[in-house]
Structure 1
Amino acid sequence: MNIVELKNVKKIYGNSTVVNIENLRIKEGEIYGLIGPNGAGKSTIMKMICSISKVSEGEIYILNQKFQSKSRIEILKNMGSLIEGPSYYENLTGRENMQIVRDLKNLNDEKIDEAITIVGLKNQMSKKVKNYSLGMKQRLGIAMAIAGLPKLLILDEPTNGLDPQGMDEIRELIKSLPLKYGISVMISSHILDEVEKMVDNIGIINKGELLYNGSVESFKVQHGAQLALRTSNNKEALFILSEYNGIIEENILKIPIVEDVEVGEVVNRLVREKIEVYRVYESVKSLEKLFIELTGKGSL
C-alpha cells in the first residue's frame, strides 16, 4: 500500500511554480529520502503533505485517503512531523515539554513514556531543554513527533548540524522506526551520502521537479555504475574490448556495466588473448557525485 501519493501537485507563488510533481509514491513500511539542494522545494513538499501549506493544484493521498477538509483531522492523527527544527520550550524540562504534547494529542502517560524510551531520553527528562545537546534536542523533537506511534513520520533535515556521532545515533534511530514500530518515514536532506545509509528509496528534487524516483542502487546503476578490471595490459585489453567503448582511469580499465554472464565472457576473452585479469569489481560513484552530475550543480 502507498502511504503517501502525490498526483499532479503544484505549489504556485504569484507567477512562479516552485513545486511541480507529476507523481510521487511512498510505500508503507519504507524510509523514503527526498533529496536535493537548498531551495529545491523539499520543505514545501513536506509542508503540503502535512497540510501546513495549501496545494495550488493536484491531489495528495495519505493512507489511501484524499487529503481534504473533511478528512484532514483523521489523517493528521496518523501523522507526526518535524519540519524546520523541533519546537519546544527551552526553559521547561524534557518531561514538561512532553506533557504538553500529551495534552495536545490527548494521549496518556504510557504513550508519552513509550516515545521517550524509543528515542533514548529516559534518563534526561528532568533536565531543562536549554541544557540539552543538539542531538538530544533533535531526539526530543522526534519523540514529540512519534508520540502515539503515528503511521507516517515526516522529518525535514533530521541530521542537520549534528556531529558525526550525533548523525549516526539519529540515523540508527530512524532506521529502527519501520522495523520495530511500523512507522513509515519520509526524510529530506541535502547530505546525500548520509541519506544513502538509511533510506530504501529516494526522490531527487531540483527546482521543484522530481528528476528521479526509485532505489539508490538502481539510480547508481542507471547513472554511472561501471565494470572495473585491473589487468596485466590495460591498453591491449581496451583494444580487445573496443566495442564497449571503455576507458582507462588510474590504471583501471572501465566498461559499461553488463550482466553476470557477459562478465564471464569478457574475462574469458581477455584470458584467451593472454591478458591476465587480477581483479574485477563494480565501480559506483557516490550518490552525491551522481546528483551533482544530474542537476548540473557545482555544490550542495
Structure 2
Amino acid sequence: MNQQSTLIYELKGLKKIYNNETVLNIRRLQFHRGTIYGIVGPIGSGKTTLLNLMSGHDKESDGLLKYDMNQFKTNWLGKTLSSPEIQLFNSEKINNNAKVSNLLSSNKIDNVSKYFNNSSLKLIQNKNIKNLSKGEVAYLNMILAVNSDPRVLLIDDYAINFDKNMELDFRKKLILMNKNLGTTILLSAPNDQNLKFISSVLIYLDNGHISKIRSGVEKTSKKYTKSSNDKKSVKSKRFNSKKRTNR
C-alpha cells in the first residue's frame, strides 16, 4: 500500500471566507487513515471552520478538499452533501428541544447508567437539553461520540469542560475505537494539554494558518518532511484494522 492510498483527506489551497474576511487559509495538508489528529489553536484560529469543512457541513470558498480521493458532492444549489461515513460532534449539532433520555435511546446507547453513576450527573438524564449547562452538553456530546461508529470522527472543543478523570475515561474509549475499528479521529481544542496524550499528530493553527505540526504520543512512528508550501507535511503510520480493512 503506497502513501497515496493511505490518504483519507487532502487539502490544497483551501480557503474559507466570511464577509470578505479570510478565516482559513491552508496551502497543503494531508490526513491518513486510522490516525488520531489533534487540531490546536485559540479562539478564532479556524479550528471549527476546518472541522465543518472536513465534515461536509460547510463548503470551501476556494481551493481543493478531497475526502477519500474525491471532492464532496453538491446539490443543485451548490450546497455540500456530507457523507454518512463522517460524523461531527459539537454542541451546535445537538437538538436542544430533545430530552436527554430520548436522545440516548434514539442513538441506541446501551448501559447508559455507567455514564451517570455519580450524583452530579444522575439528574441529567431527566432534563431537556436546552436546560443543560455547557459542561453537561459537552459530556452528553462525548457519550454520543464514543458510542458512534463512523469511518471518520470529528470532535470540536474536546474535553474543555471535563475534569481529569472524565477526560481520561473518554480518552481510553477513543483510543480503543481507533485501535479496534481503525476510525480516523480529529479532535480540536484551544491548547494541547489533553490532545498531546491521545493524538499521534498535532496540527497548530494561528489566525487561519498552520503555524506548526508536531508529533504527539507516537513520536517515533511519525516522519516529517518539508514541503514547498506549509514547509511541513505529515507522513503517518499505515493502519490496517484487524476488524475492518481499508476503512
TM-score norm. by structure 1 comes to 0.58
Distance (Å, rounded) in 2 between the aligned partners of 1:215 and 1:163: 25
CA contact (8 A) 1:134 1:162 kept: no
Q: Deviations over 1:42-82 (max 9, x none)?
A: 11111111232221001211222211316955x52101111
Which residue does 2:87 correspond to in 1? Answer: 80
Greater C-alpha radius of gyration: 1
Q: How has the CA–CA distance of structure 1 residues 214 and 125 changed in structure 2, closer, same or farther, with 3 Å as cutoff?
A: same
Q: Deviations over 1:149-188 (max 9, x none)?
A: 1100010012011122222222222222211222110011
Secondary structure at the aligned position of 1:174 is classed as helix
Instruction: Report the CA distance between 1:23 and its aligned residue.
Output: 1.3
Which residue does 1:154 correspond to in 2? Answer: 154
Distance (Å, rounded) in 1 between the aligned partners of 2:136 and 2:24: 33
Q: How has the CA–CA distance of structure 1 residues 65 and 168 changed in structure 2, closer, same or farther, with 3 Å as cutoff?
A: same
Distance (Å, rounded) in 2 between the aligned partners of 1:143 and 1:33: 19
Q: Deviations over 1:198-217 (max 9, x none)?
A: 00001111010012234234
- Note the residue ranges of structure 1 that are not aligned, 5 or more in a row: 103-111, 223-300
CA contact (8 A) 1:171 1:198 kept: yes
Corresponding position: 1:13 with 2:18:
yes
Distance (Å, rounded) in 2 between the aligned partners of 1:180 and 1:119: 24
Secondary structure at the aligned position of 1:38 is classed as coil
Distance (Å, rounded) in 2 between the aligned partners of 1:160 and 1:148: 20
Instruction: Report the CA distance between 1:126 and its aligned residue.
Output: 9.9
Corresponding position: 1:175 with 2:180:
no
Comparing 57-66 and 122-131, the one that deviates more: 122-131
Secondary structure at the aligned position of 2:140 is classed as helix
Secondary structure at the aligned position of 2:195 is classed as helix
Structure with more relative contact order (C-alpha pairs < 8 Å, separation 6 or more): 2
Secondary structure at the aligned position of 2:49 is classed as helix
CA contact (8 A) 1:86 1:138 kept: no
Which residue does 1:203 correspond to in 2? Answer: 203
CA contact (8 A) 1:80 1:146 kept: no
CA contact (8 A) 2:146 2:170 kept: no
Secondary structure at the aligned position of 1:175 is classed as helix
Q: Deviations over 1:2-44 (max 9, x none)?
A: 2222111001123321110011211111110111111111111
Instruction: Report the CA distance between 1:89 and its aligned residue.
Output: 4.6
- Note the residue ranges of structure 2 that are not aligned, 5 or more in a row: 1-5, 225-247
TM-score norm. by structure 2 comes to 0.69
Which of 29, 41, 66 is the aligned partner of 1:24? 29
Which residue does 1:59 correspond to in 2? Answer: 64
After superposition, where does 1:1-300 map in structure 2 within 5 Å? 1-69=6-74, 73=81, 76-84=83-91, 87-89=94-96, 92-94=99-101, 96-100=102-106, 102=107, 112-113=108-109, 116=110, 121=115, 127-129=125-127, 137-145=137-145, 149-216=149-216, 217=219
Q: How has the CA–CA distance of structure 1 residues 169 and 119 changed in structure 2, closer, same or farther, with 3 Å as cutoff?
A: farther
Distance (Å, rounded) in 2 between the aligned partners of 1:213 and 1:195: 13
Letter of the aligned partner of 1:58 in structure 2? Answer: G
Percent identical:
21
Distance (Å, rounded) in 2 between the aligned partners of 1:202 and 1:93: 33
Letter of the aligned partner of 1:98 in structure 2? Answer: L
Letter of the aligned partner of 2:141 in structure 1? Answer: G
Distance (Å, rounded) in 1 between the aligned partners of 2:114 and 2:189: 23
Secondary structure at the aligned position of 1:127 is classed as helix
Comparing 32-41 and 120-129, the one that deviates more: 120-129
Where is the helix percentage greater, Structure 1 or Structure 2? 1
Q: Deviations over 1:240-276 (max 9, x none)?
A: xxxxxxxxxxxxxxxxxxxxxxxxxxxxxxxxxxxxx
Distance (Å, rounded) in 1 between the aligned partners of 2:56 and 2:165: 33
Q: How has the CA–CA distance of structure 1 residues 67 and 40 changed in structure 2, closer, same or farther, with 3 Å as cutoff?
A: same
CA contact (8 A) 1:80 1:150 kept: yes
How many residues get paired?
A: 205
